[in-house]
Structure 1
Amino acid sequence: MTTTITLVQGDITHQSADAIVNAANSSLLGGGGVDGAIHRRGGPEILAECRALRASRYGRGLPTGQAVATTAGRLDARWVIHTVGPVHQGPGSDPEPLASCYRESLRVADELGARTVAFPAISTGVYRWPMDDAARIAVETVRNTPTAVDEVRFVLFDDRAYEAFARRLG
């Protein structure tokens, strides 16, 4: 079975999917950008599960490139898959931690039985990963990662992100 990759321009918190991926910070306790929006719209149930994860397995926070799932609260999804993207360190930044975010999120989605997964453009906001490079890494990683997910949907907030991902899907 082949995974279908689609692009949508808009707000990821308005998507209907089995799983919505959160570009989380390592604390798992909410923040700005996509992370803050998911926590605000999803409601306190997400934060409660994130706090429980911090109290148990992730006392020092979720490591970069890893992924973990919680409820989706009030979002139109069953789960939120939280992943921590790398901060871009300038030319020569290692793309592997960013690729790992996509691979690990798909691994968690497979464990959950998710068939539709909505991803943001991980690390492209305050973590400063250049959009064209982030789109290349995201699309190549999803295409090359074996998964039972039927549809991966990249939900891109603005024209610039949408166009960068559209060029990569070509």
Structure 2
Amino acid sequence: MSLNIIQGDITKQAVDAIVNAANTTLLGGGGVDGAIHRAAGPKLLEACRPLHGCPTGEAKITPGFDLPARYVIHTPGPVWRGGTHQEAKLLHNSYQNSLSLAEQNKCRSVAFPSISTGVYRFPLTQGARIAVDTIQTFLTTAKFVENVTMVCFDDRTYHAYVAALSNHIQKEELR
């Protein structure tokens, strides 16, 4: 069981499932959501329409179509509104519910983007910590999910996730 952090393009990851930082309509958008929809092709939008959206923090799954991933797990992360509107819990839920859906579908490998830390303005350091802690905790009991990769779009995001993983490992060693 491992968590890896790389800098790259999530649409190029040959894994069982990639996670889409979707909006609540699931009908495509900007950022990673738009990139995933473009790379998967028009069948992804067709598959998302009958799902009738998805609440923030929940997750839904579709085939990957033209992506190298078998599935796309769509999860709308929270928009940052100052931290007083359950944003941290909702972000945790986005990662947790995505991993649970991967587990239910017997996925061994999953790739995540940094959910909510772009246009949704969730503070990157806090978002990285929530992601790493949620994923590492999940991996301790997972039956199928073995390898999770955080695919970071830029240097700043990559370094934030490397620091969060290092801090998580140090905390675990102190226990």
Give TM class, smaller chain. over 0.9
Match in the other structure for 2:114: 121
Match of 1:98 in 2: 91
**Amino acid corresponding to residue 12 of structure 1 in structure 2:** I
Counting aligned pairs with the same residue, the percent is 52
The answer on whether the counterparts of 1:4 and 1:150 sit within 8 Å (CA) in structure 2 is yes
- Determine whether 1:63 maps to 2:55: yes
The size of the alignment, in residue pairs, is: 162
Structure 2 letter corresponding to 1:168: A
Q: Distance in 1 between matches of 2:164 and 2:81?
A: 23
Residue of structure 2 equivalent to 1:152: 148
Partner of 2:78: 86
Deviation (angstroms), 1:134: 0.4
User: Which residue matches 2:45?
Assistant: 47
Q: Deviations over 1:25-54 (max 9, x none)?
A: 000000000000000011011111101212
SS in 2 for 1:31: coil
Q: For 1:6-25, what aligned pairs fall within 5 Å after superposition?
A: 6-25=4-23
Detail structure 1 runs of 4+ shifted over 6 Å in the superposition: none
CA distance in 1, matches of 2:115, 2:101: 16
Contact 1:124/1:134, CA 8 A, preserved across alignment: yes
Asked whether the equivalents of residues 45 and 71 of structure 1 are also in contact (C-alpha less than 8 Å), the reply is no
TM-score normalized with structure 2 length: 0.90
TM-score (ref. length: structure 1): 0.92
* Separation of aligned partners in 2, 1:98 and 1:18: 22
In the alignment, structure 2 segments of 5+ residues that lack a partner are: 167-175
Task: State the partner residue of 1:58.
Answer: none
* Distance in 2 (alpha carbons) for counterparts of 1:117 and 1:32: 22
Structure 2 CA distance, aligned partners of 1:165 and 1:67?
Answer: 22
Root-mean-square deviation (Å): 1.0
